Chain A
Amino acid sequence: MERIPILRMGPFLLITIQVDMHDKLAMQLQDDVTERISDWGSAGVLIDISSLEIVDSFIGRMLANIAAMSRVLGAETVVVGMQPAVAITLVELGMSLPGVRTALNVESGMELLNTSLGRPQSGTFHDSNEA
């Protein structure tokens, strides 16, 4: 069965949506994400939508659902990489993704998650041996 892969990066999950989403795939993804969070105790979920050429209310609802479900399970969700034309269209459509945190790219999304979880930034982290 067709599935969207979920990568584990330490305490986070990384999901890159590259295919044209349809109902079954979206439902499967919601199931998979919640199961992974519960199995691995993940603290954050990054959803990269930079390959999506459109986000309609169906996909918007799916993103909002995943963020809400993850929050209930104790994980933060950040949606990253939205294309500018998609952002313009989404707002005009009447959907500004309330309740979903966003960042420009995976890197800043990761930073956002680290900060909100009170973890040291990967770039500024110094090993105690250095001193």
Chain B
Amino acid sequence: MTATKRELLPLQTSSDVVLARQKVRQWAIELRFSLVDQTKLVTAASELARNALDHGQGGQMAIEIVNGAARTGLKLVFEDNGPGIPDIQMALKDGFTTGPGMGLGLGGSKRLVNDFSIESEVGKGTKITVVRWK
């Protein structure tokens, strides 16, 4: 998987979440994703960006166009320096939440993308990588 284009966006305020969403939409259109695929990816980005802000005390999103074997995709990496997730399996379950939300952010966004991986260290932060292939 090689990256052909990459950009970094801060996630410190709720308007950063809006900007991140717009950037993902713009790149998804450039890659000619279908409308449903665009919507899924932008929604997943919105959930994960908000997670980084609400649970991770802010962080950043990297957006990358990646080329795999005969296919192109959009890869998003969300990193925060928050408290980390002690139990990832639990955090991925629908309905599990430590905040005021509905607990759909992680499990839900996993269903909206093709690849999903999560690394987290308690006290250090969380890194979530997602890819949606065209």
Question: B14 near A24 (CB under 8 angstroms)?
Answer: yes
Tell me the bound Cα distance from A60 to B107 in angstroms: 16
Q: Mark A61-75, 1 if CB is under 8 A from B, else 0.
A: 100000000000000
Binds A, one of B58-66, B67-75, B98-106, B123-131: B98-106
Interface assignment of A40: CB less than 8 Å from any CB of chain B: no
Interface assignment of A131: CB less than 8 Å from any CB of chain B: no
Question: A22 near B35 (CB under 8 angstroms)?
Answer: no
Q: Please, which residues of chain A bring their CB within 8 A of the CB of B112? A: 89, 92-93
Binds B, one of A6-14, A50-58, A106-114, A121-129: A50-58
Question: B42 near A54 (CB under 8 angstroms)?
Answer: yes
Question: How many Å from the CB of B116 to the closest CB on chain A?
Answer: 13
Partner of A57 from B21, B35, B108 at Cβ < 8 Å: B108
- Given contact pairs A56-B50, A61-B102, A93 touches B36 in the complex (Cβ within 8 A): no
Question: B14 near A22 (CB under 8 angstroms)?
Answer: yes
Tell me the bound Cα distance from A125 to B18 in angstroms: 45
Tell me the bound Cα distance from A24 to B17 in angstroms: 13
Question: How many Å from the CB of B52 to the closest CB on chain A?
Answer: 13
Question: A95 near B15 (CB under 8 angstroms)?
Answer: no
Which DSSP category, helix, strand, loop or mixed, fits chain B's interface?
Answer: helix
Question: A88 near B43 (CB under 8 angstroms)?
Answer: no
Interface assignment of A118: CB less than 8 Å from any CB of chain B: no
- Given contact pairs A22-B18, A93-B111, A54 touches B43 in the complex (Cβ within 8 A): yes
Interface residues of B (CB under 8 A from A): 14-15, 17-18, 21-22, 25, 35-36, 38-40, 42-43, 46-47, 50, 94, 101-102, 104-105, 107-109, 111-112
- Between-chain CB contacts (< 8 Å), 22 pairs: A20-B22, A22-B14, A22-B15, A22-B17, A22-B18, A53-B39, A54-B42, A54-B46, A55-B43, A56-B43, A57-B101, A57-B102, A57-B105, A58-B46, A85-B35, A85-B39, A88-B40, A93-B109, A93-B112, A94-B94, A94-B104, A95-B102
Interface residues of A (CB under 8 A from B): 20, 22-24, 53-58, 60-61, 83, 85-86, 88-90, 92-95
The 4 residue pairs across chains A and B that have the minimum distance between CB atoms = A93-B108, A85-B39, A56-B46, A22-B14
A22-B17, A89-B36, A92-B112 given; name 10 further pairs at CB < 8 Å.
Answer: A22-B15, A22-B18, A24-B14, A53-B25, A54-B39, A57-B47, A85-B38, A89-B43, A95-B102, A95-B108
